[in-house]
Amino acid sequence: MSAPDAVPSLEVSGLAYAYPDGTQALFGVNAVVGRGERVALLGPNGAGKTTLVLHLNGILGGGLGTVRVGGLAVDARDKKALREIRRRVGVVFQDPDDQLFMPTVREDVAFGPANLGLRGEELDRRVAAALERVGMGHVADRPPQHLSFGQRRRVAVATVLAMEPEILVLDEPSSNLDPASRRELADVLRSLDVTVLMVTHDIPYAAELCPRSLILSGGVIAADGPTLDLLADEELLREHRLELPFGFDPAAAAARPR
């Protein structure tokens, strides 16, 4: 998997955070994601998954602990470093309608790299390449609201790929997708050569795509290991409100060729 000597894509240590209203969401999260790894972050609703994601690119901050992305510390006060952090961390939000806000797909994909200062031909090349990587080159001139939900999700992935991120963070990537769109998105994600952190409670999807999983529960990392090993531990799953869907057998999934 990851070479231990290389700088990891993501390093979270001792991260704790309480919302201004006093609700404590994270109680000391420690996690390392190596370069090129695909890791699932599993957890029940309200476990603090979204709070953790918003720390990764410095939208939330000010609590205890540190987050490093490719060796660079995330510091919400350092505006210049923050710009680089937001290039390195590509967050794909759950609802593509939140992510795609420009009048056409092309402009939306160009939004990120243009904020990084790219213009003209180089920008066009970036946009075309990112759309090609998710197989959406043919919809570049259409308004996002006229695409199917699955297409919108893939375009949302392209909008952050265009920024050439160090790590791709996906918030519930499989939610609301029909089976064919799920499979198409899985093919896209497998074809990318970037680090992926997939936040989800879709256990079969995690088993299919991510060799390694973290379980976030009650604001701490409760388990960290190979996905299929974690899924085989029924007691662990039950303890953290993660149940296997009806008919899903991790052992059979492990035996299936991919």
Partner 1 sequence: MGAGHAHRLYLPGTSPVHRLPPQCKLVALLAFVLLVVATPAHRVWAFALYAALLAAVAVAARVPLATVARRVVIEVPFVAFALLMPFVANGPRTEVLGVALSQSGLWSAWNILAKGTLGVIASILLAATTEPRVLLLGVERLRMPQLITQIATFMLRYGDVVTAELGRMRTARAARGFEARDLRATGVLARSVGALFLRSYERGERVHLAMVSRGYDGRMPALADVGATGVQWAAAAALPAAAALVAAAAWMVP
- Tell me which residues in 28-67 interact with partner 1 (CB under 8 A): 54, 57, 59
Give helix 120-133 / helix 105-115 axis angle, nearest 10°.
120
Binding of partner 1 by 102 (CB under 8 A): yes
Q: How deeply is 30 buried, as exposed, middle or buried, from its count of CB atoms within 10 A (0-12, 13-18, 19+)?
A: middle
Contact stretch for partner 1 (CB under 8 A) within 16-24, 25-33, 130-138, 144-152: 144-152
**Of residues 10, 26, 91, 105, which one binds partner 1 by CB under 8 A?**
91
168 has which bridge partners? 90, 196
Q: What sign results for the dihedral spanned by CA atoms 55, 57, 60, 64?
A: positive
Binding of partner 1 by 111 (CB under 8 A): yes
Binding of partner 1 by 146 (CB under 8 A): yes
Binding of partner 1 by 128 (CB under 8 A): no
**Of residues 75, 95, 224, 233, which one binds partner 1 by CB under 8 A?**
95
Tell me how far, at minimum, the Cβ of 112 lies from partner 1, in Å.
Answer: 4
Nearer of residues 129 and 220 to partner 1, judged by Cβ: 129
Tell me how far, at minimum, the Cβ of 209 lies from partner 1, in Å.
Answer: 22
Q: In the numeric block, which tokens belong to residue 204?
A: 């079969």
Tell me how far, at minimum, the Cβ of 26 lies from partner 1, in Å.
Answer: 18
**Of residues 73, 101, 122, 243, which one binds partner 1 by CB under 8 A?**
101
**Of residues 107, 164, 229, 233, which one binds partner 1 by CB under 8 A?**
107
Binding of partner 1 by 103 (CB under 8 A): yes
Contact stretch for partner 1 (CB under 8 A) within 8-16, 80-88, 184-192, 239-247: 80-88
CB-based contact 100:155 (threshold 8 Å)? yes
CB-based contact 152:144 (threshold 8 Å)? yes
**Of residues 28, 83, 164, 232, which one binds partner 1 by CB under 8 A?**
83
Q: Residue 11: what are its φ and ψ, rounded to 5°?
A: -135, 110
**Of residues 31, 39, 110, 155, which one binds partner 1 by CB under 8 A?**
110
Chain positions contacting partner 1, by CB under 8 A: 54, 57, 59, 83, 86-87, 89, 91, 93, 95, 97-99, 101-104, 107, 110-112, 114-116, 123, 142-146, 159-160, 163
